[in-house]
Structure 1
Amino acid sequence: MKLLRFLLFPFAILYDVITTIRNWFFDINVLKSTSFKVPVISVGNLSVGGTGKSPQIEFLIRLLKDDYKVAVLSRGYKRKTEGFQLLNDTHSAADVGDEPLQFYTKFKNDATIAVDADRTNGIQNLLKNDADLQVVLLDDAYQHRKVTASTSILLTKYNDLYIDDFIVPTGNLREARRGAKRAKIIIVTKCPENLSEEKQQEIIKKIKPKAHQQVFFTTISYDENLKGLDTDLTISDLKNKEVLLVTGIANPVSLLQFLSEEKISYKHLKYPDHYDFKTSDVEKIKMEFNQLPSDNKIILTTEKDYMRLQYKLQNVCYVCIKSAFLNNEEIFNDFIITQIKC
């Protein structure tokens, strides 16, 4: 794989040239970007793969929902519908995508959730639906420059910093590292809970934030209570069960480490990110589950995967995660509120 990526280096240079010209055209207004009176907060990354965008969007919803009318606009990756969709109780993951459905399931009484690949059109429709909206959160929209975000939040994984990466296909970056300059906030995600202040300062020096940027550090926090079953079940209860773990996310390493730390043994079936579980996949999962020798067994999955599996499998539960700041959470919260009030 490393050799192949090296051989593809010329294509990475070409891709870099194309994305650089595109960004320059936006910078000099050759390509137009639409601004809105309502504050727009964009959450995204430079790299391909999971950096914790969904937990960060959910953190922002929790922060804002009691005092502001909030809307979330996602692309709706791999959905089978087109155009603008305002989520309601009839929608499935196939209709709107797994992550938007996850947001809707948890926050339908607290925020408006919609999908549209055209973010400009999406925001316009959200405002038509509710002219009193006070803030729009854009999910995975860092490269979507047709909308001028009032605040851009850039996420980068602790063990895979964008500063150490290169543009695709040689690396995993969607655009060059210099694209980070557009962010007002950089969040280093999926950090160890005990990450020292000294190590944090080393990372900040490595990132070299601009004068207008602030750097924060978050970790993944796992909820003790499992969801998806009628009976109450906790993470601790899994220690006495045979667990079939099914994941279709970009990088399940954090979850695997958590389960190992909790002394939970499991058999893991790993699928690609946003995987569309077909009938044959579901039958394989059922077969693997039935072959577990104990009667005291369960299927465990992620919250995002549950959105796609909930009507296809029985005996399946999921673990909830949250984004938790290692420090300076109040500074982050105050900054976000200030951006909304501007």
Structure 2
Amino acid sequence: MKKRALVVCPGRGTYNKEELGYLSRHHQDKTEQLAFIEQYRQTVNQPSVHELDGKDRYSFKLHTLGEHASALIYACAYADFMSINQDEYEIVAITGNSMGWYIALSVAQALSPQDSITLIDTMGSMMKNGLIGSQLIYPAVGADWKIITDKKTELFTIVEEINQRAAHALYLSIDLGGYLVVAGNETGLSAFEQSVPNIDDRFPMRLYNHGAFHTPLMSQISDVGKDKLTTLDFNRPLTPLIDGRGHIWTPYSTNPQQLFDYTLGHQVTEPYYFNRAIEVGLKEFSPETIIVLGPGSSLGSSVAHSLINIGWQGISNKAEFVERQKRDPFVISMGMEAQRRFASFS
């Protein structure tokens, strides 16, 4: 009998130095299936994803640019999705983090692959002439991977207070497992950095080449996106989709126009609640496993935080999660060499 699987699509920031060569390592057999991405990028005079993936050295300035990172991540995740052994897994729902929503639309077939790369590349390239705002990430989770509710509430209060100051813009961008992604203008972000303790000489961590997505600062980007992408052919997904509000788009009741409006409206300008999407996926679809598409594996920890937060299947802390993973992995991160074999033909 097939295992029920919830698929999670990655967002920006998942293709890093360790992921260089991901396509060549795992997907040399899928050049033809990814040709639509290369054809599109050729028409807009951008380097091919295989060229970027095949560089001798990872470059922050090159590989993290929105117009490159988005297409690279899409290519890796799309190829990973095609590698899932669907003789063993029944995909019951699909969700994603931030840009991962666009990838989810593709693999659920709410958009064709060609329309998906148009969406991903257009939105990823929207700020190539200058970022609007920026993002940083800060933890609200303990060493046991339990989300600290009081700390989270305190951080929300700090964000709201800073946003009330003159010339300061600061908002919650993504509720990401045990982390908060905060976005705003330079004045707002600097004020936040001065208002919270430094943790492990790592946090608060600025996210390089990331604009202030999922905040009102993106209103103009949302409007331009709607104007540029009116020809995209949105359809009812073939597999249920869970968005950044925890809303379910089913194959039976989805209104394509509303899906377009959400994708280029609310999803761009309002917070993305990844925790909520995972919780809804678990409670509404009862998956026997969660498959996190690559590249990268960092999203797996955010999924684990969400599991622990609701005590899913009795998992209440990091030690219990790690023990479960050793015994019978519930979360399969395809970006991890040791885990992708559980989900993939390769």
TM-score normalised by L of structure 2: 0.25
Structure with higher RCO (Cα < 8 A, 6+ apart): 2
Structure holding more strand per residue: 1
TM-score normalised by L of structure 1: 0.26
Structure holding more helix per residue: 2
Between structure 1 and structure 2, the one with the greater Rg is 1
